[in-house]
């Protein structure tokens, strides 16, 4: 860093997939670039429980990298049904910080809706039992998602983040009413995402996280290319503008939110 140049804002990438083959040839370099961009912590997400040990190994090999595990809704029909005991047992690992991602995806896999709903309820029960946050994927399933989250919460409170939130205002309000968090991905930085930006701007700042969902959904100016955790800074810049903050203020706020939700990974 040259004289007169300020350090980058300290950010957290609350959701990425460092185990995906997109990163196989340069995983260490990707993590190093993230740190150089001010990303002090990352949560890498296991989407199939049979890959849990591999994802855990990545987290354990790198300072500032944590992990979560669950069955992705798009894989729910292909994978063995997770059990609450199986998910709860993962909490014994110090770097295991969340349950999921789980949820509902009726855009690509509507034919497995019933098994997705069953899987989601298992993950909700595990989040409640462990006290770790549930990580939710929702696409084209707003009504069912809101209903199941409300029902689950009525049976006992749990913490939750709506990862890569890109659903409608109704689901956002339902999640916020339950005390949940909304996470901004690169989608919020896309030019045609003004309606989504309006939803985030109407939410309390203390309920906002930022993420990449890398290797997917790279924000401008990298859109259309492989995403990586360093690029969360571009999404955070858009978030700062939405809330009328400078980048350092927004980074501090979202990092504090992350610490509150992902207490095991708190700075």
* Tens-place pLDDT, residues 86-103: 999 999 999 999 999 999
For the chain, the domains span 11-265
- What is the model's pLDDT at position 1? 44
pTM attached to this predicted model: 0.95
Q: Where would I find the H helices in the chain? A: 27-36, 52-61, 84-89, 113-130, 142-154, 169-177, 194-201, 232-242, 247-261
Return the SS3 of 132: coil
Return the SS3 of 194: helix
153 is in an annotated binding site: no
Are 134 and 158 a contacting pair, CB within 8 Å?
yes
17 is in an annotated binding site: yes
| pLDDT tens-digit readout, 175-234 | 999 999 999 999 999 999 999 999 999 999 999 999 999 999 999 999 999 999 999 999
Candidates 3.30.70.1400, 3.40.50.300, 3.20.20.140, 3.90.76.10; correct CATH number of 11-265? 3.20.20.140
- What is the model's pLDDT at position 2? 44
137 is in an annotated binding site: yes
Q: What is the dihedral of CA 91, 265, 258, 67, to 10 degrees?
A: -60
* Closest to 242 measured CA to CA, from 267, 215, 210, 205: 205
For the beta carbon of residue 260, count every other beta carbon within 10 angstroms: 14
Residue ranges of the chain whose pLDDT lies below 70: 1-6, 267
- What is the model's pLDDT at position 266? 93
101 is in an annotated binding site: yes
228 is in an annotated binding site: no
Are 14 and 36 a contacting pair, CB within 8 Å?
no
213 is in an annotated binding site: yes
Rounded CA-CA distance 159/134 in Å is: 6
Task: Please provide residue 136's backbone torsions phi and psi, each rounded to the nearest 5 degrees.
Answer: -110, 130
For the beta carbon of residue 29, count every other beta carbon within 10 angstroms: 11
Rounded CA-CA distance 51/75 in Å is: 13
In the chain, what are the helix, strand and coil shares in percent, each to the nearest 5? 50, 15, 35
């Amino acid at each position: 860093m040259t004289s007169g140049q300020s350090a980058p804002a300290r950010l957290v990438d609350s959701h990425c997939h460092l185990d995906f083959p997109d990163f196989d040839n340069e995983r260490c370099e990707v993590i190093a670039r993230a740190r150089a961009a001010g990303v002090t912590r990352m949560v890498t997400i296991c989407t199939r429980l049979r890959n849990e040990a591999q994802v855990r190994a990545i987290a354990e090999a790198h300072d500032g990298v944590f992990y979560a595990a669950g069955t992705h809704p798009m894989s729910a029909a292909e994978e063995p049904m997770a059990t609450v005991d199986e998910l709860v047992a993962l909490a014994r690992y110090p770097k295991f910080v969340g349950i999921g991602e789980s949820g509902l995806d009726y855009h690509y896999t509507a034919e497995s809706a019933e098994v997705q709903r069953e899987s989601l309820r298992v993950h909700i029960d595990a989040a409640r039992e462990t006290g770790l946050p549930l990580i939710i994927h929702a696409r084209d399933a707003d009504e069912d998602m809101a209903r199941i989250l409300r029902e689950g919460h009525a049976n006992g409170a749990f913490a939750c983040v709506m990862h890569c939130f890109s659903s409608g205002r109704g689901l956002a309000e339902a999640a916020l009413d339950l005390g949940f968090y909304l996470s901004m991905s690169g989608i919020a930085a896309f030019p045609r995402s003004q309606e989504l930006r309006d939803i985030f701007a109407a939410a309390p700042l203390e309920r906002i996280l930022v993420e990449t969902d890398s290797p997917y959904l790279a924000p401008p100016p990298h859109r259309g290319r492989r995403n990586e955790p360093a690029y969360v800074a571009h999404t955070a810049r858009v978030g700062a503008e939405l809330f009328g903050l400078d980048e350092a203020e927004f980074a501090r706020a979202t990092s504090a939110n992350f610490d509150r939700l992902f207490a095991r990974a708190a700075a």
